[in-house]
Structure 1
Amino acid sequence: MWNSVSDSTISSHAAAFVISLLVDSTIKAAILLALVAAVMSLSKKVSAATRHLVWLLSLAVIPALPILVLILPTWNVLPNWLASPAGRARPIASQNVYQPSSAMTLSQSPSDGTLHEPTSQPSNGTGGDEVNRPRTGRAPITLNIWATTMQFLLVAWLSGCLLSFAPWLVGSVSLRLLQRRSARVKEGRLLLLLHEFCTKLGIRRPVQLLVSDQREMPMQWGVISPKVHLPSSALTWPEDRLTAVLMHELSHVRRHDCLTQFFTTIVAALYWFHPMVWWAGRQMKDESEFACDDLTISSGCRATEYAQQVLYVAASSYPAPLFSPVAIGMAGRSRLEERVRAILDRGRNRTPLTMTGGVACSALILMISAPLVLLGDKPSNSTSRTTLESRNDANQHLNSQDTRSDSPLRLGFIDDSAEGKRSIAGSGHAVAFQRPAATKYLMSVEIFASRYGTPDPPDEDFHIYLLDEKQKLFRAFPYPYAMIERGAERWYTLKLPACEVPERFTIALSFNPHRTKGIYLGIDKNVKQSHSSTGRPTKGYRPITENYDWMVRAILVRQVPSESPFVSAP
């Protein structure tokens, strides 16, 4: 049994992943809303109900953009602006390389012949045995800034979401208190009119009618249990005013405007930094008022009388900003003149929304949004996948663009994006490879890693083991803990004396971690099947049952470079 130690802090790569999705969807949302606004400006003869649906569907697409980008195929033409400095393509020669800290010896027990852990011998200070140790306590500045920025942006976005949604929560609590201080109408003229208009508008849900002297503005709220609030003075209103007010508020119930307003609040909270989302929400809310006016007039109210009552309500009452995120007032003063003109316009299209209109609106938004959804980041050369035509789908990623005999060949099953990281307590990491026939010599090993624990690295080594097809250890190399920097993960190149490896071989790493020190090794879940395992040379290795691979790559050459400072090991 082995235990995995999970990272308890926000991963910078996870933060960058979320922020990149937000940036991508923000840009696409701006384009989408701009196109919808252009279409709406050319469709002024369309009814307000139809225009309301178009804005609603466009806002519904925006939070779905990040999900659709992940599950649908993409046209990879956009730049990846938020790529990690550690994950960008770099030539092999430009990476930080480290030599083995000392030679290794393999010992066998004279009694049972069991292979024991390799032990380090002191370096003689010559040639390839010299340790290239970095200074401790210095993190890569560029990568640290990138990681900190990504985490800060994620926290800022989450904080903005909470703050943007807070007014809705405050409004809900305030309306609950208002409901407790209001009297529910259970009989009389108001209740009869309420039932009559509900029947006329086809409302089958029970609607509560509340009356109080707390607010003068007629309001409607409630997604599941709709409520209409009237001021106490409504008990003495003339019938034409009661008819206008009740028909308008019940039109909101008929159209489920509180539900669409709640949805808009969620989208605005998720994209609180996007002014066009707030503007589109405002447009949708205004169109809902126009649509309710149209429905009220179409249901029998005379336009002139209805306009007079709207002006009366607007003049005799004040909007309640505390309730506005949740409740819908009858007559806000924003765009009041335009609203009255629309009420009195005899040639206005007041057609309610039909099934055909709904399908047409959905098709319109689909045509506008589909090309935007399919646009994706252009992959870098370092993450392009070239499949090696060999059995067992071995070595999917061969990042070699040079076919010369002395050019290095990078073998691996992973790309440069880590979906997690793990440290194996009491065990180690291993990845099995199959080399092409022409590349016999292993020159270096690349790992995507970071150190954790105390700020100062332990004065000890970790080890790379080379195993053959039967998992028999034939080479081992130590490297100082000090070479792996504490903090964010990045790629490290561990240089080896050029050694010939069999066609099938395994690279194993042992970090001997515990609570105060250890090394995280990145994992990549974007693999077809796992080629990784866990264990130690003395205990054997067990394949990983989950579908991921350790982020380890092998650098091989077809022949030992003549200018290499390393020589083939005996």
Structure 2
Amino acid sequence: MRPDLLLQTSIDWLPLADAAVKATLLLGAAAITTRVLRHSSAAARHLVWTAALIAVLILPIVSMAIPQWRVPLVTLSRSTAIGTGQLGGGDAASASTAAGMRARLGVSAQGPAQTAGGGRAPSESRRSLAWGTLLFGLWITGALVILTRLGIGMIAVQAMSRRTLTASNAAWLPLARQLASDLGIGRITFRRSRHPSISMPMAWGVVRPVVVMPAEADGWSRDRLRIVLLHELAHVKRADCLTHMLAQAACALYWMNPLAWMAARQARAERERACDDLVLACGTPGAEYADQLLQIARDMRTGRFSSTIATASLAMANRSQLEGRLMAILDPSVPRTGLSRVRTLVGSAAALLTLVPLASLQPFTYAQAPAADALTQAGTAPPQVQAAPARPEVPTRVATAVEQRITQDVMQGVTQGVTQGAIQGVAQG
């Protein structure tokens, strides 16, 4: 299968190929940037990964909304397939009419391309069309599967929220409200779960954030409650639920690109470390925090809806990330500073300044083939009509003599006819 024919099928792959290449460049730049910022805070690295994922998510929209800057790095030929093998049902009559005319004229239906290649170009184009349709359907199917899983997770979270109990009588509610006020969080709901699938503190919601504590929280010590509540409130303060949803959407759009999954995984790890840094910055000793985190992870149970809910919510102790988090918590040299509003705006502006020029870049261009070349590429070159052989020229003198002899014979015949008619008329009279 030739890649150039794959791009010439009825499904235009240029927008998908363009977005994939640009997304790879953006995510690669984010990876390099986070490598440079390896000695910075986790919040700074999380900002870089989040900005990159949001940028690749809105990249197709920005590319269509702004003027294009055409840089012909890759030129593809776009030929018009008009061969009889690629005609639709409406063009069958025209094809048969043309064939009949060629038969009456005695002209061969095969052009140079078919004579030399045996008609391989149309069949190869049809195979490329089939592969293009298959790949496009595969991409759509993968994106729909991931988005469906995210939607099911959101529905499961809403259903789980309705099964939770109000925390109005919880002993830890005054502490939770005090910590939310200290962090500048105004609108938040605290609930208590009795469902077996929620065995650890969780947070979800964007417009109306909710923090759910497990039933065992009523028997926790004040120090443990403070650590747990600070971590979950850090997610709410940083709007991690929103960025988590956007990262999932970016993975759905670019699910064939391994860099998208890597970026989402790194963003998730840096998000948890940033929340850990906030807890430590509030005065919690690192050793105590690490011990409490280990206990919560050890007591964690796996319920029926845990994996589904995890796609649309934020749990405190993810075992797959626990080792890296513990090492960062116990490392006193790790910077714990969060991001100010000014630094967040500067980082967002830098991502925007990178996105706009890249979105306007158009490296793929089509070169329109001439009509004759298009016919040749389609395997139906115009028939070569051979003119009838010219009659040999007659010498001028011979032609003149023949004309004079014909004229004399005609005049002689006319004279004899007139004379005989006159004699017969006189005799009868």
| 1:277 maps onto 2:272 in alignment | no
CA distance in 1, matches of 2:151, 2:319: 24
Query: Given the superposition, is the C-alpha separation of residues 126 and 244 from structure 1 closer, same or farther in structure 2, using an over 3 Å criterion?
Result: closer
Which of 27, 30, 55 is matched with 2:24 structurally?
Answer: 30
| 1:77 maps onto 2:72 in alignment | yes
Q: Deviations over 1:205-224 (max 9, x none)?
A: 13232222512121111222
Contact 2:18 2:364 in 1 (8 A): no
Paired letter, 2:52: S
Q: Deviations over 1:507-543 (max 9, x none)?
A: xxxxxxxxxxxxxxxxxxxxxxxxxxxxxxxxxxxxx
Q: Alpha-carbon deviation of 1:101?
A: 6.3
Query: Given the superposition, is the C-alpha separation of residues 211 and 14 from structure 1 closer, same or farther in structure 2, using an over 3 Å criterion?
Result: farther
What aligned pairs does 1:36-51 form with structure 2 within 5 A after superposition? 36-51=30-45
Which of 116, 130, 136 is matched with 1:154 structurally?
Answer: 136
Q: Alpha-carbon deviation of 1:359?
A: 3.4
Q: Write 1 or 2 for the structure with the bigger share of strand.
A: 1
Which of 132, 137, 151 is matched with 1:169 structurally?
Answer: 151
Paired letter, 1:182: T
Paired letter, 1:247: L
CA distance in 2, matches of 1:64, 1:21: 13
Query: Given the superposition, is the C-alpha separation of residues 207 and 496 from structure 1 closer, same or farther in structure 2, using an over 3 Å criterion?
Result: farther
**Of 226-235 and 340-349, the range deviating more from structure 2:** 340-349
Percent of counterpart pairs with the same letter?
30
Q: Alpha-carbon deviation of 1:187?
A: 2.8
Contact 2:191 2:210 in 1 (8 A): yes
Higher relative contact order structure (alpha carbons within 8 Å, sequence separation ≥ 6): 2
For 2:54, the equivalent position in structure 1 comes to 60
For 1:502, the equivalent position in structure 2 comes to none
Which of 186, 193, 209 is matched with 1:211 structurally?
Answer: 193
CA distance in 1, matches of 2:102, 2:11: 45
CA distance in 1, matches of 2:270, 2:57: 21
Q: 5+ residue gaps in structure 2?
A: 1-6, 83-93, 111-118, 389-429
Contact 2:286 2:330 in 1 (8 A): yes
What aligned pairs does 1:148-547 form with structure 2 within 5 A after superposition? 148-214=130-196, 215-318=198-301, 320-366=306-352, 368-369=354-355, 372-382=358-368
Q: Alpha-carbon deviation of 1:46?
A: 1.8
Paired letter, 1:33: L
Contact 2:78 2:368 in 1 (8 A): no
Query: Given the superposition, is the C-alpha separation of residues 232 and 133 from structure 1 closer, same or farther in structure 2, using an over 3 Å criterion?
Result: same
Paired letter, 2:202: M
Paired letter, 2:250: V
CA distance in 2, matches of 1:149, 1:38: 35
Q: Alpha-carbon deviation of 1:182?
A: 2.4
Q: Deviations over 1:366-397 (max 9, x none)?
A: 455455434423534426xxxxxxxxxxxxxx
RMSD: 3.8
Contact 1:85 1:143 in 2 (8 A): no
Q: Alpha-carbon deviation of 1:259?
A: 0.8
Contact 2:14 2:364 in 1 (8 A): no
Contact 2:109 2:383 in 1 (8 A): no
Contact 1:56 1:284 in 2 (8 A): yes
CA distance in 2, matches of 1:46, 1:285: 17
For 1:523, the equivalent position in structure 2 comes to none
Contact 2:9 2:125 in 1 (8 A): no
CA distance in 2, matches of 1:13, 1:380: 10
Q: Deviations over 1:371-425 (max 9, x none)?
A: 5434423534426xxxxxxxxxxxxxxx6xxxxxxxxxx7xxxxxxxxxxxxxxx
Q: Alpha-carbon deviation of 1:278?
A: 0.5
For 1:114, the equivalent position in structure 2 comes to none
Q: Deviations over 1:428-450 (max 9, x none)?
A: xxxxxxxxxxxxxxxx9x999xx
CA distance in 2, matches of 1:23, 1:355: 36
Q: Deviations over 1:70-105 (max 9, x none)?
A: 433224233256x655479xxxxxxxxx99969xxx
For 1:541, the equivalent position in structure 2 comes to none
Structure 2 residue matching 1:140: 3-state secondary structure? helix
For 1:530, the equivalent position in structure 2 comes to none
With normalisation by structure 2, the TM-score equals 0.72
Structure 2 residue matching 1:377: 3-state secondary structure? strand
| 1:140 maps onto 2:127 in alignment | no
CA distance in 2, matches of 1:342, 1:203: 26
Structure 1 residue matching 2:224: 3-state secondary structure? helix
| 1:20 maps onto 2:3 in alignment | no
Paired letter, 1:309: Q
Q: Deviations over 1:253-281 (max 9, x none)?
A: 11111111111111111111111101100
CA distance in 1, matches of 2:343, 2:10: 41
Q: Alpha-carbon deviation of 1:143?
A: 2.6
Structure 2 residue matching 1:44: 3-state secondary structure? coil
Contact 2:185 2:237 in 1 (8 A): yes
Contact 1:219 1:328 in 2 (8 A): yes
CA distance in 1, matches of 2:104, 2:181: 96
Query: Given the superposition, is the C-alpha separation of residues 33 and 142 from structure 1 closer, same or farther in structure 2, using an over 3 Å criterion?
Result: same
Q: 5+ residue gaps in structure 1?
A: 1-11, 89-97, 103-121, 384-398, 400-409, 411-443, 449-489, 498-562, 566-570
Q: Alpha-carbon deviation of 1:309?
A: 1.5
